[in-house]
Structures are given as structure tokens and as C-alpha cells.
Amino acid sequence: MNIELIEKVVPELSEALIGTKLRNVFQLSADRLAIAFVGEDFHLLFISVEPRDPRIYLIRRRLRDLKRGSIHPSHFAVSLEKLLTDSPVVGFDQIGADRVVQIGFSEHRLVAQLTGKSSNLFLLDNKGTVLQTSRKPIGEGQAVGSTYRLPTRAEKEHASSEPDLLSADPSISESLDVHFRAWDEQQDFESLSDAARTKNRREIAKLNRLLKNLNEDLTEHGVAEQWKRFGDLLLANQATAERTRNVVRVRDLFDESAAIIEIEADENDSITEAAQKYFRRYMKARNARTAVENRLSELESKKRRLENLGARIETAIQEKDQEFLWEFVGKKKVVAQKNKRKAPTLPSGIRPYLSSDGFEILVGKKATDNDYLTSRIANSRDTWMHAADYPGSHVVIRNPDNKEVPHRTLIEAAQLAAFFSQGKKQTKAAVHYTLKKFVNKPKGVAPGLVRLASFKTILVEPKVGEAKAITR
């Protein structure tokens, strides 16, 4: 979307969304979200920060279709929903004369940066500090923990699709939605067409490589009848053959002129042994030729079928026959479903919290819960914690996007680890922390006991702190 389109759509979004509350966040793809707002009316805000085509406008969809078409939510989407659910929208404006839109909430801000290569979504606090980003940030003032700054001109590039919809009436969002749905469908069909062509082309190229290798094998084995002929001539000329190192001169009895020819033979072999080697070579070449020729015939037939299929694919593309193309490519028609997976349900013995930076913190209760949290739920790149000198809960900072965990989140998680331990009454308590991949459970030890390959220690006050408990 260009500046003019953004300037026209922002007032429409402002009028519709200010005073409403955020209710749900739907992850439509890695870089696309649909956010539901409720108030006197129900609204769906679509935001795409795909570098090739960033955009923002209202859409109309059935919730069941959104749920069915959604993929597993990103860490950013989870944080957005947990921090902003039921938060009222208090402002909606364009930042300066740039392709950057800001949604103001009571305690946070959501910034949609629609600037080509640097397109991104940012969750900010009221001081402008970046709490979360949906994509890897580019440039200064874009990283988590920094004060948000607009991208520089060098970091921007124009979007690839800019419709001429400035005169759209009555709703710019409806016009944008109609245009981009058609554009998306065309892009999806072109991607499907390219995938079908590429698959067919690769399969033909694979067959050509096999055919080449088989023909080289035939050449390597040589002409079977020639090896048999050399063997027969060696045996027939045993008495008169003349040898010079690895060459045997014999009379060619199969030729009318009975000319003298030379046949290679190992100088350490007798005439009979050299003949037997040629007979074995003859048998091997004959058998190989039969097998290779049969295989060549099969592959040539398959290649002709693929070439005919290539023509059928082109016909399907011209006729917009998506069913045929999907069947050939071997993918489901609803592409978004391929990444969809059911989020695991936390057992009652694991308490979830949300840090001030939007990271999920999980706290075990009993020893068996600690075992389950550490061995079944935590991933290798998650941060694991435990009070250093006291029995207590295992604490895990979830990090599915492998981002750097802010120091504030480390403090809040460590405070929880100290609070849910027998050292909770201490003024200060030491907490060990490390990546989950360095945590091992020796065989046969009691539940909750682990061994750390390496770790660091942090000193904190035992308390719940700023982390918010998540109700389930």
C-alpha cells in the first residue's frame, strides 16, 4: 500500500475501531494476522507485513472460516492476545508522513510498519519501548528492548502491488479487500502452476539423468559378442599364438582373409586363463545388456508419459483447473492447514505466567510436574531455571522463535523460581539458569532431580513480581 492509500484507510479504521476492545488474534500465515475487535459492532482488522505486499484494512469473514484457515499462532500473536485481550483502542493514526500505522491501547501500542523490506509488527509499551516483534527487525530502534524508531529510507522499498483505489466508495477497506483477495488468488494460482511445472520438469530431468547413466553403462560393458569372439580365437590359436607382454597375436579365423590381430591379455595369464576372462566378460555384458535395455525401455515410456503430462499441465493452467494441479503437486488445497497443529494443553500441575516482555513462563508445582515440564514440554532453546540452594519448582521461559530473552524477563522468571522454593522467605536467593539442552536427568534418580552441564547464577528477591498469572 502506498502513502495515499494508507492516508485514506486510516480515518476509516479509526472511526471503526476506537472504543472497541481486542478479542481474538488469528494467525493466517507467518506474516499475516486477522484481529477481532468488539464494541457496538464486530470488526476484523487484517494486517500483512509480508515484504512483497504489506497492507492493512478491515475485512468481512466468518469466524469459523478464520479458525479453519488459521495456523499455529506465533510467539508474537500469543503475546498480543494475552496482553491486549479486552484492552480498549484509544487511538488509531498514521505516524508522520510514512507507511506506519499505530494502534493505541490503554497500556500498550501496536505499530504496523508497512515499509517493504523492513515491514514488521511491533508491540510497544506506553514509553515506546519495543516488547515484541513479529519478524526479525532491521535497523536501529527496531530491536526488542530499544526505543522504537521509524526505519530509515535505505531500509525501505516499495510494495509490489499498489491498486488505484483512491476513488473507492463508500468503503476503502471493502475495495482493498476485494482487490487483494483477487490478487492473492492469482498469486496462489501462479505459485501452484509454477509448482506443477517445476515438479514435471524435475521428474523429466531425473529420468534423463538415469537414461544417460544407463547408456554409459552399456558403453562401459562393451559389445558382448566381441568378448566371446576374443575368447574363441585365443583357444583356437593356442598352439600358434605369439605373445609380447600383454598382447597376444592370433589369426582371425572368423575373417575370410584370416588376418593377424592383437588381443590384450594379462602377461601373467595363460592363453586358456585369458580366454576364460573374456568368456566371463561376455556373460556379464550380455546379461547387463538385457537388463539395461529393458530398463531403458521402461524409462523411455515413462518419459513420454511425463512429456504428455506436461502438455496436460499447460492445458490445466489455461483452463484454471486447480483440482488437477493440486492432485499432481500432491498438496492439500488449503495450504494454510499444512502448518496447523493443536497447541498442547498444560496439565494442572504447571502454572503459566506472562512476562512484561510477552514471554510465557511456566512453573512446576510438584516433583512429578517438574519432571513433566522439563522433559516433555520444554524445548532445547527454552531457558530453564531453579533455585540454587533450596528444593523448589522448575521454571521454563518458552522461546519458540529463538529470540534473545530480555534481562527483565530473566529477572521475573528467576523471582518466580525463588518464590516457589523453600528459600522464598530469604531476602535474596540465588537462582541457576541455563538452556534446556544443558539439563539432563540421570537414570534412576528421584522425580524432579536433574544435572546441569553448564549454568549461570542470578541473585533475586523471591516474589511473583511483574509477571502476570495466566488464567486457563
> CB-based contacts of 120: which residues, under 8 Å, 6+ apart?
49, 113, 133, 134, 135, 137, 138, 142
Give pLDDT, residue 338.
Answer: 41
Q: Is the pLDDT of residue 10 over 70?
A: yes
Residue 33 phi, psi dihedral angles, 5° rounding: -130, 150
Q: Is the pLDDT of residue 403 over 80?
A: yes
Whether 135 is in a domain gets the answer yes
Q: Is the pLDDT of residue 472 over 60?
A: no
**What is the arithmetic mean of pLDDT over 192-197?**
93
> CB-based contacts of 49: which residues, under 8 Å, 6+ apart?
31, 32, 112, 113, 114, 119, 120, 121, 134, 135
Give pLDDT, residue 157.
Answer: 54
Give DSSP secondary structure letters for 400-464: TT-PPPPHHHHHHHHHHHHHTBTTTTSSSEEEEEEEGGGEE--TTPPTT--EESS-EEEEE--S-
Whether 168 is in a domain gets the answer no
Least confident of 94-108, 156-170, 354-368: 156-170
Give pLDDT, residue 120.
Answer: 95
CB < 8 Å & 24+ apart, contacts of 135-142: 135/31, 135/49, 142/118
Q: Which of 96-110, 151-165, 276-290 has the highest mean pLDDT?
A: 96-110
Give residue 3's pLDDT band: very low, low, confident or very high (50, 70, 90). confident
Distance CA 253, CA 232 (A): 9
pLDDT in tens, 226-257: 888 888 899 999 888 898 889 999 988 888 88
465 and 416 in contact (C-beta within 8 Å)?
yes
Whether 197 is in a domain gets the answer no
Residue with cell 539423468: 209
Q: Which of 96-100, 197-201, 212-216 has the highest mean pLDDT?
A: 197-201
Give pLDDT, residue 52.
Answer: 87
Whether 69 is in a domain gets the answer yes
Give pLDDT, residue 108.
Answer: 95
> CB-based contacts of 375: which residues, under 8 Å, 6+ apart?
441
Domain finish residue from 132, 150, 168: 150
The whole domain housing 94 covers: 3-150
Distance CA 38, CA 42 (A): 5
The residue among 220 and 30 whose pLDDT is bigger is 30
pLDDT in tens, 315-341: 999 988 888 898 888 865 444 344 444
Whether 450 is in a domain gets the answer yes
Give pLDDT, residue 167.
Answer: 57
Q: In what order do the strands lie in the sheet with 120-125?
A: 89-94, 100-105, 108-113, 120-125, 130-133
Roughly how many angstroms between the first and final C-alpha of the chain, as a whole number?
A: 39
Give DSSP secondary structure letters for 224-268: HHHHHHHHHHHHHTTTT-EEETTEEEEE-TTSTT--EEEEE--TT
How many structural domains does the chain have? Answer: 2
For the chain, percent of residues with pLDDT exceeding 90: 53
Whether 203 is in a domain gets the answer no
Domain finish residue from 116, 150, 184: 150
Q: Is the pLDDT of residue 463 over 60?
A: yes
Whether 19 is in a domain gets the answer yes
Grid coordinates belonging to 322: 486447480
For the chain, percent of residues with pLDDT exceeding 70: 92
Looking up residue 38, the CATH number of its domain turns out to be 2.30.310.10
pLDDT in tens, 27-39: 999 999 999 999 8
Whether 157 is in a domain gets the answer no
> CB-based contacts of 79: which residues, under 8 Å, 6+ apart?
123, 131, 132, 354, 358, 359
Distance CA 467, CA 438 (A): 25
Domain finish residue from 95, 120, 150: 150
Q: Is the pLDDT of residue 21 over 90?
A: yes
